[in-house]
Chain A
Amino acid sequence: MLRRLIKQRELVTDEWRYAEEDPLGRERALILPFARWKEERERWWLWDGKLGVRLGPTDPVAALEHDFLRIALVAIEFGGLGEGRGYSQAHLLRKRYKFTGELRAVGKIQRDQLFYMARCGFDAFELPETANVDEALGAFDDFSVAYQPAVDDGLALKRRAV
């Protein structure tokens, strides 16, 4: 089944597959769980498809430090509105490790998180199938101003330079 997601503020069809959806990597764009990536790193490094890694809230971003040449996508798992580690994981990926690939928020995510997530550097969002996507697209414009620097510096937000 084709999955829809918001990517760079547009609704697109997902070209990526999770390992359980496409065990052989036929689509040549595969997202592996963090544990499997660490275990089978050598093998996948030489594979000829695009690779992504999916992090849970407790998976350390620093463990990917030497992998960013190979990884084109990092998916970060959220367990609901109460789960906030993913924001720091995203910040570190973008700011400290200068990760430039796709940064995708997955799991139990919803409209009201998107503004914060985008400011932390997420550029792709897998909303539940039941989500009202038009409404969700509006979330990026919840605020036109911000007080603090973030990953999205230089974007449309008018910012106070604290």
Chain B
Amino acid sequence: MYQYDQIDRQLVTERVAQFRDQTRRYLAGQLSEDDFRSLRLRNGLYIQKHAPMLRVSIPYGLLSSDQLRMFARIAREFDKGYGHFTTRQNIQYNWPKLETVPDILALLASVEMHAIQTSGNCIRNVTADHLAGVAPDEIEDPRPWCEYIRQWATLHPEFSFLPRKFKIAVTGSPQDRAASKVHDIGLHLVRNAAGEIGFEVLVGGGLGRTPMIGHVIREFLPKRDLLGYLEAVLRVYNLEGRRDNIHKARIKILVKAVGPQKFREMVEAEWQASRDTAPQFNAAEIGRIAAFFQPPVYESLTDRAQSEIVAGKPNEFRQWYTRNTKKHKVSGYRVTYVSLKSPTRPPGDITAEELDRVADLADRYSLGKIRSTHDQNLIFADVKQEELFAVWQQLKALDLAPPNVGTLTDMICCPGLDFCSLANASSIPIAKQINDRFDDIDYLYDLGDIELKMSGCMNACGHHTVGHIGILGVDKSGEEWYQITLGGSASGLDAAIGQVIGPSVPYADVAATIERILDVYVEKRDDGERFIDTFRRIGMAPFKARVYVAPSHQAA
């Protein structure tokens, strides 16, 4: 993974000093509430319901065990002993004190981390496929490009005060595991007819109250033009994006207003006009970065069949192997999920003790590295097949091995009303309600791959609009109600925005409503057909008819 040199180290150190001074001036009354707000957000610091919330950047979701241990220390010393992984591969702390944040940032800097641009109207953490470098279907590892973009975007003098936040995701596989089509910019490493690798560029995707799928504005961008072209997109947005209404300020609104074709022409014109003055491609620098992402030295092992790996082991291990591990591109290894979706925990949450133990396990079994995923789990990317059973036993002891990855209860969930000052309704108690109702693992396996995503407000941090089943919390005269959408998808060629099934349902009825929806699926599905595919085939009507049937009819 990328290692800081003197320049990187100096930059984060100076950033800590800058923020320490800003905090001092604010506390001394020399910096207005509004001005400090804009500045603290650039360091990931929100003021939330109960306390400030600090979001720490995990560039493209890659962590060392020492960094994970630092998360544990921060959780222990500055928070209430836990952290929460987010849908953009970052971690959040919900209880730090404002005046201690500069000290937290200093500790992060000591392990080559920061909270720069994890919030605010600037270019946010660049995210990537969580299987980067180990996925068998990969064209090229996207992470060197993520790091290249990270550096370019960090404290970018021209693009640090944009109309609104700006998110970039990069993938290197045909299968999109980074939700790149719902990012402001999605970059796909692709191969052209001549066999060269470059980028397909999508712009204008996003979630929030106006969810949209991004549009391809460049089918093939040579690698050498990457930063110059990104600058052209950002400059058009910075100058032309709306600033009069926070809800109309994302780039997706601009792309929609002028139309994708016209937007593409605007970017192309800006790019042609700025070619001479744009950042020039620096092969030595991308080479320096790429060297940090060379594949590790794998042992030469033979692939074992599943039957061999699970032979003589408990059934639960077999289940875990099937759901929570994935194929690795190197034989004898397996990608292994550390599930943060046990029914006993709020989705994405992890305690300081667990963080420490996960770090130890990573050191012992997975080359000392951990990844965070956009669906709020962790990954050991490089586990030897022969050690899977030992890993499972230890993860199970930590309640980090519920065999539910990819199933209904592997849900994405925002912090909701329990923590967030934007939320209209709770998310975490609804997750619990769903976990309580769907506690039969055989039923979950029978349902198969299904994505349930839940947000406590229309800002959509829980990605509900791209869930196969989405749940959105709404406030109705002080009561928590939930609107349900079906048919959304964040991934791959079939990314789509979900459709609202009908009127929202009360708090107590959410899990029961989901069950009725699933009943329709189970009745109507063809053999081996996923929920999303059944929905696409039969449409909304059968689901709607069942969900809104009057109770008396139901009984009859």
Q: List residues of chain A with CB under 8 Å of any chain B CB.
A: 57, 80-85, 87-89, 91, 95-96, 110, 112-113, 115-117, 119-120, 132, 142-150, 158, 160-162
A83 to B163, CA, bound (A): 8
Across-interface contacts of B243 in A (CB, < 8 A): 57, 82-83, 85
Chain B residue, CB-CB nearest to A147? B151
Chain B residue, CB-CB nearest to A149? B279
Checking A80, A95, A145 against B11 with a beta-carbon cut-off of 8 angstroms, the contacting residue is: A145
Checking A84, A158, A161, A162 against B121 with a beta-carbon cut-off of 8 angstroms, the contacting residue is: A84
Q: List residues of chain B with CB under 8 Å of any chain A CB.
A: 7, 10-11, 14-15, 18, 22, 30, 34-35, 38-39, 121, 148, 151-152, 154-163, 227, 235, 238-239, 243, 273-274, 277, 279-280, 282, 284-285
Do A87 and B148 contact each other (CB < 8 Å), given the known contacts A82-B38, A142-B18, A162-B282? no
A112 x B238 contact (CB < 8 A): no
Across-interface contacts of A161 in B (CB, < 8 A): 282, 284-285
A147 x B161 contact (CB < 8 A): no
B282 x A85 contact (CB < 8 A): no
A84 x B163 contact (CB < 8 A): yes
A88 x B158 contact (CB < 8 A): yes
Checking B10, B30, B148, B280 against A144 with a beta-carbon cut-off of 8 angstroms, the contacting residue is: B10
A160 to B148, CA, bound (A): 11
Checking A96, A110, A120 against B157 with a beta-carbon cut-off of 8 angstroms, the contacting residue is: A120
Q: Smallest CB–CB gap between A19 and chain B, Å?
A: 26
Binding site secondary structure of chain A: loop
CB < 8 Å A-B pair total? 105
Across-interface contacts of B238 in A (CB, < 8 A): 84-85, 87-88
A161 to B243, CA, bound (A): 32
Do A143 and B14 contact each other (CB < 8 Å), given the known contacts A84-B163, A116-B157? yes
Checking A81, A84, A145, A160 against B285 with a beta-carbon cut-off of 8 angstroms, the contacting residue is: A160
Q: Smallest CB–CB gap between B167 and chain A, Å?
A: 17
A57 to B156, CA, bound (A): 19
Do A145 and B10 contact each other (CB < 8 Å), given the known contacts A83-B243, A162-B152, A162-B279? yes
Q: Smallest CB–CB gap between B20 and chain A, Å?
A: 12
Q: Smallest CB–CB gap between B322 and chain A, Å?
A: 43
Q: List 29 A-B contacts (CB under 8 A).
A: A57-B243, A81-B38, A81-B161, A82-B38, A82-B161, A83-B161, A84-B159, A87-B157, A87-B159, A87-B161, A87-B238, A96-B274, A112-B35, A115-B157, A120-B157, A142-B18, A143-B11, A143-B15, A144-B10, A145-B7, A146-B157, A147-B11, A147-B152, A147-B154, A148-B157, A158-B7, A161-B284, A162-B151, A162-B279
A159 to B354, CA, bound (A): 39
Across-interface contacts of A119 in B (CB, < 8 A): 157
Checking B11, B158, B163 against A87 with a beta-carbon cut-off of 8 angstroms, the contacting residue is: B158
Checking A95, A142, A150, A160 against B151 with a beta-carbon cut-off of 8 angstroms, the contacting residue is: A160
Chain A residue, CB-CB nearest to B38? A81
Across-interface contacts of B280 in A (CB, < 8 A): 149
A53 to B214, CA, bound (A): 39
A91 to B234, CA, bound (A): 13
Q: Smallest CB–CB gap between A73 and chain B, Å?
A: 21
A162 x B227 contact (CB < 8 A): yes
Across-interface contacts of A88 in B (CB, < 8 A): 158, 235, 238-239
A162 to B277, CA, bound (A): 14
Q: Smallest CB–CB gap between B138 and chain A, Å?
A: 24
Across-interface contacts of B14 in A (CB, < 8 A): 142-145
A162 to B243, CA, bound (A): 30
A91 to B278, CA, bound (A): 11
Across-interface contacts of A87 in B (CB, < 8 A): 157-161, 238
Do A132 and B30 contact each other (CB < 8 Å), given the known contacts A81-B38, A88-B239, A96-B273? yes
A91 to B158, CA, bound (A): 7
A113 to B277, CA, bound (A): 23
A116 to B42, CA, bound (A): 14
Q: Smallest CB–CB gap between B2 and chain A, Å?
A: 12
**Most chain B CB within a 10 A radius of its CB, from A80, A87, A119, A158:** A87
A128 to B332, CA, bound (A): 66
Across-interface contacts of B151 in A (CB, < 8 A): 147-148, 160, 162
Across-interface contacts of B152 in A (CB, < 8 A): 147-148, 162
Across-interface contacts of A81 in B (CB, < 8 A): 34-35, 38-39, 161
Q: Smallest CB–CB gap between A162 and chain B, Å?
A: 5
Across-interface contacts of B274 in A (CB, < 8 A): 95-96
Chain A residue, CB-CB nearest to B161? A84
A143 to B155, CA, bound (A): 10
A160 to B153, CA, bound (A): 12
5 shortest interchain CB distances as A-B pairs: A84-B161, A119-B157, A95-B277, A81-B38, A147-B151
